[in-house]
């Protein structure tokens, strides 16, 4: 059974991080430059939340000031499910569904280890199931149409 530790082990070791006091426009620029859709918000090396392009898009319509004048802490998501390194991929899928979340925060005891995304979980599940699909016998059904 695959665990969260396995998923984190396959991800790049670097975190795309920002500070809660950085501007939202700087965070968007960083996401674009690093080709990511979220940043981990750290304050004094401690996890504070996740800011994503989706969160920004959802909230930007409700503010009346430029994004360069808005701090990341106003847009970051701090209400995320938490998993441990030993949790299974299946339990992660259940948490993502239960909380309608896109991100899971990973802790080992009280040590922040990273963030696992719903995309990471899907890729992991598919990579383990791929052999099932590859071993399936070819279908005799033809996809041709006759008119």
Residue range 67-124, pLDDT digits in tens: 999 999 999 999 999 999 999 999 999 999 999 999 999 999 999 999 999 999 988 8
Alpha-carbon gap, residue 138 to 60, rounded angstroms: 49
Give the pLDDT confidence score for residue 141 in this predicted structure: 54
* Domains of the chain, earliest start first: 4-132 (3.10.580.10)
pLDDT tens-place string over residues 28-81:
999 999 999 999 999 998 999 999 999 999 888 888 888 999 999 999 999 999
Distance CA 133, CA 140 (A): 16
Confidence category of residue 15, pLDDT binned at 50, 70, 90? confident
Please state the three-class secondary structure of the chain as a single string: CCEHHHHHHHCCCCCCEECCCCEHHHHHHHHHHHCCCEEEEEECCEEEEEEEHHHHHHHHCCCCCCHHHCEHHHCCECCCCEEECCCEHHHHHHHHHHHCCCEEEEEECCEEEEEEEHHHHHHHHHHHHHHHHHCCCCCCCCCCCCC
């Amino acid at each position: 059974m695959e665990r969260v530790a396995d998923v984190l082990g396959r991800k790049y070791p670097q975190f795309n991080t920002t500070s809660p006091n950085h501007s939202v426009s700087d965070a968007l620029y960083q996401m674009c430059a690093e080709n990511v859709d979220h940043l981990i918000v750290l304050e004094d090396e401690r996890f504070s939340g996740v800011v994503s392009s989706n969160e920004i898009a959802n909230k930007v319509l409700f503010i009346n000031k430029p994004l360069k004048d808005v701090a990341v802490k106003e847009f970051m998501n701090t209400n995320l499910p938490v998993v441990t390194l030993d949790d299974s991929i299946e339990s992660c899928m259940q948490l993502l569904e239960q909380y309608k979340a896109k991100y899971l925060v990973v802790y080992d005891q009280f040590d922040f280890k990273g963030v696992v995304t719903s995309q990471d979980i899907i890729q992991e599940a598919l990579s383990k199931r791929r052999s099932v699909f590859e071993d399936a016998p070819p279908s005799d059904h033809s996809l041709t149409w006759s008119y």
